[in-house]
A and B are shown apart, each in its own frame.
Chain A
Amino acid sequence: MTLMKAYLRGLWEGKFILGYTLLLSLTLFIAAPFLMIALRSVGKGWFGRLWLPPQLTLDWYRWAVEVGNIPEVMKNTLIIGAIAVIVSTVIGIFAGWAFGRRQMPGKEVLMAIILLPRMIPPITYALGVAKIFYTLELVDTYLGVAMAHVSVCAPYAILVLSATFEGLDERVLEAAGVCGANTIKRFIYVVLPLILPGILASMIFSFTHSYNEFTLTLLTYGPNTVTLPIRTYLAVGDGYWEITSAMAVIMVVPSLLILAMIQRRAKPEKLVGGFKGV
């Protein structure tokens, strides 16, 4: 509504007409696919040249839950995501502390090497990961799929956390020491509150990555570890657009919630570094 009002006001004032036209078409460009998915997921008998579905129904969601086995799939996705988040955050905390707070020769080079997976298309190392996991029989286990996700999540966790730890001011710690806090107290009351936002950010990044990850999952999943993106992909292959749309809605809502949650805290530039399983 505000949008329409702003547009009309812009027209009225004769300024920014071009600008608002561009913004409005951008909004349409980005939002229209979601609208189509949402409408398709509740529409019934929507054929031919109709702008809106003639009947509304929730049948497709029922089908998605019953036939697509969404609760089971959701459980898989969450378990795999949790393992991937824990592993990559632990890796990130250790390596981030080393990169952010400790002196070492060749730090830049080492960091560049460890962050190398971001430079290479995931499918290239996904092949090798899949091959190794087949021999180790890690394919189609929660641990295996989660470890495959770690290869994508961990570089981002390291990146975010080393920036966080680097920003930690030594003088604050010294001040706490002077005021009589011992190491444990200093850690709990001073260090932890300062680094917690960074750790949370890294966890959210990692989880979103794991949640969206498609390439590596496709090469390591099995019947017991179908995740949401894979389930949606399989449904696309089956050709039932309505059910696929229902699954897509179920899948996209948490992503948008996370975006709404973090958009006030995190700067968009940081988001660009993260996200996307391609």
Chain B
Amino acid sequence: MGAGNDPPPPFAAAVQRDGMTAFWRTHQSTLVTVFLLLPALAGFFGLFFYPMLLTVILSFRPEGHEVGWTLENYTRFLADPDGRWVILLTFILALGSTALSVLLSVPLSLILREKVRGHQFYRLMILVPLVIPGLIGALGLLLFWGSRGWFNLFLLQFMPFVQRPVAVNYTIHGLTMFYVWLYFPYTCVTTMSALESLDRSIEEAGAVSGANRWQVLRYIVLPLITPGILAGSVLTFMAAFGAFSVPLIAGGNYRPLAVEIYKQISIPIPARWSAASAIAMIMGLLQVAFLTLYMRFVRRGGGTGGPR
């Protein structure tokens, strides 16, 4: 391989083979490692890096052209009030559902920690939204919360002051709730594992020192599990930010970034690949930027314990 740099002496083949053997002997370990990493690197470059590169290049090309450079795709999207609304909407949905997931997860994991009857069943229940396709979840939610679904039937029959069905589907709060249904397990599971790894004797020490249950919870338990909650909420945020199938069928007129990208290449003829690529780049950059900030915030002191 690399040994062939010298000017080839006579009997080149034999010397080269010797060189190869020597090279192999000295670098065996490195070569094996490189060989082991080869499939992963090939996959990474072929299926992620090169596509991303192509997207970057395409986002700077004029629409439908293979040559030339322009910033028009970015400026058009960012200057458009609709475009800015799409970005804002994506953040509202992602942050709203993340916050709600945290609000739901903390009490839930506090209850399930007490090993109540059937707690294993509930634990399994929490995992269900993780393993089913988002599409199916969205479908069921649309059916349940729709104007003919059980939710509205219940309201109409048992709540005397409700006269007409309450609109949940295709509204922004409905969509946020659908996101919570689909993505809260990420937060919940991490919160639960953080709670379970918590040493009970710390709480007992607090209680012995005269703190009541609320104070123990507020000043001891919550600060200690905050890193776990934050780590889980990052996962929820990432899933909600990149959500595609759910807003695609349950979003109605609310189209977050992922759906907007898909619309660019599915509705207009010919497909607007450059515009889609520009939006995709904006989306990717926003997510990376937000995650970096978030991680920094978490490291800085999102909790007394700090992440390991």
- A residues in contact (CB < 8 Å) with B: 2-3, 6, 9-10, 16, 19-20, 22-23, 26-27, 29-37, 40, 47-49, 51, 87, 90-92, 94-95, 97-98, 102-104, 110, 113-114, 116-117, 119-129, 131-132, 147-148, 150-151, 154, 158, 208, 211-212, 214-215, 218-219, 229, 232-233, 236, 241, 244-245, 248, 251-252, 255-256, 258-260, 263, 267-269, 271-272, 275-278
Contacts and interface: CB of A to CB of B under 8 A. Distances in A.
Kindly name the residue among A33, A114, A131, A151 whose own CB sees the greatest number of chain B CB atoms within 10 A.
Answer: A33
Q: How large is the interface on B (under 10, 10 to 19, 20 to 34, 35 or more residues)?
A: 35 or more
Contacts of B283: 121, 123-124
Contacts of B273: 127, 131
A2 B122 contact: no
Interface in B249-282: 249, 257-258, 261-262, 265, 273, 276-277, 280-281
Contacts of B262: 123, 218
Contacts of B185: 272
B127 A27 contact: no
Contact of B186 (A90, A241, A248, A272): A272
Interface of B: 29-30, 32-33, 35-41, 43-44, 47-48, 50-55, 58, 104, 107-108, 111-112, 114, 116-118, 121-137, 139-141, 143-144, 148-150, 153, 156-157, 181, 185-186, 189-190, 192-193, 232, 235, 238-239, 241-245, 248-249, 257-258, 261-262, 265, 273, 276-277, 280-281, 283-284, 287-288, 291
A52 B278 CA distance: 48
B117 A36 contact: no
Given A214-B244, A252-B136, A278-B245, A95 B193 contact: no
A121 B190 contact: no
Does more than half of chain A's interface fall in helix, strand or loop, or is it mixed?
Answer: helix
A122 B287 CA distance: 12
B118 A116 contact: no
Contacts of A37: 136, 139-140, 143
A151 B245 contact: no
B156 A268 contact: no
25 contacts: A20-B116, A22-B107, A22-B111, A23-B112, A26-B126, A36-B140, A98-B33, A98-B36, A104-B33, A120-B288, A121-B244, A121-B258, A124-B283, A127-B55, A128-B55, A129-B47, A151-B43, A151-B48, A154-B40, A154-B43, A212-B132, A215-B244, A233-B249, A248-B140, A276-B134
Contacts of B40: 91-92, 94-95, 98, 114, 154, 158
A245 B41 CA distance: 41
A33 B185 CA distance: 16
Given A30-B128, A125-B48, A276 B140 contact: no
B245 A269 contact: no
Kindly name the residue among A124, A148, A232 whose own CB sees the greatest number of chain B CB atoms within 10 A.
Answer: A124
Nearest to A26: B108
Contacts of A131: 51, 54-55, 58, 273
Contact of B129 (A30, A98, A147): A30
A51 B155 CA distance: 12
A97 B249 contact: no
B235 to A, nearest CB: 6
A23 B122 contact: yes
Nearest to B259: A123
A6 B193 CA distance: 24
